Amino acid sequence: MRRATGFAVAAVVTALLGRIGTAAAYFDESDIGVRSVGFGRAFTAIADDASAIYWNAAALDGHFGSEFMFTYSRPYAVDGVASNYLAVVRPFSFAGAGLSWHHFGARDIRSGPP
C-alpha cells in the first residue's frame, strides 16, 4: 500500500511540474556545457562530466568524483530569453547517480494587438 501511495504521489507531482513546450527555434537544439559545444555537440561517447546526465546518462557509471555544474546563457543575445542548467553527480561503489534541472525561459512575450 505504501509503495502504491508513493507511486501515485510521484505521478501527480510529475504531472503538475511538466509543461508542454510551444516554442521552436533555439529551444529545439540546446547546448549544455562548453566542452560539448567545442566538440560540435558530438559529445555522447565522451561525456565524462556532470553534463553526462544530459548527453549520455549511462556514462555516469564511470565517474570518479562528485561534481557540480551550473550554466547560464542568453541564446543569440536576445533579451528576455535564457537557458539554465544545473547538475549534481555523485559516484557510488556500484553505480553513479545524478540530478539535473534544465530550464528555458522567455519573458515579456506579448500576444495580440499592440
Neighbouring C-beta atoms of residue 26, cutoff 10 Å: 16
- 32 in a domain, yes or no? yes
Please tell me the distance from the alpha carbon of residue 63 to that of residue 55, in angstroms, as a whole number: 14
Number of domains observed in the structure of the chain: 1
Residues spanned by the domain of 78? 22-106
- 17 in a domain, yes or no? no
Q: What's this model's pTM, rounded to 2 decimal places?
A: 0.64
Matching residue, cell 556545457: 33
Model confidence over 15-38: pLDDT tens digits?
A: 777 665 555 555 556 778 888 888
pLDDT, residue 101, reads: 92
Q: Answer for the pair 48, 37: CB distance below 8 angstroms, yes or no.
A: no
- 11 in a domain, yes or no? no
* 76 pLDDT more than 80: no
Model confidence over 79-95: pLDDT tens digits?
A: 778 888 999 999 888 88
HSE, CB side, 13 Å, CA atoms: give it for residue 47.
23
- 98 in a domain, yes or no? yes
pLDDT, residue 1, reads: 75
pLDDT, residue 14, reads: 74
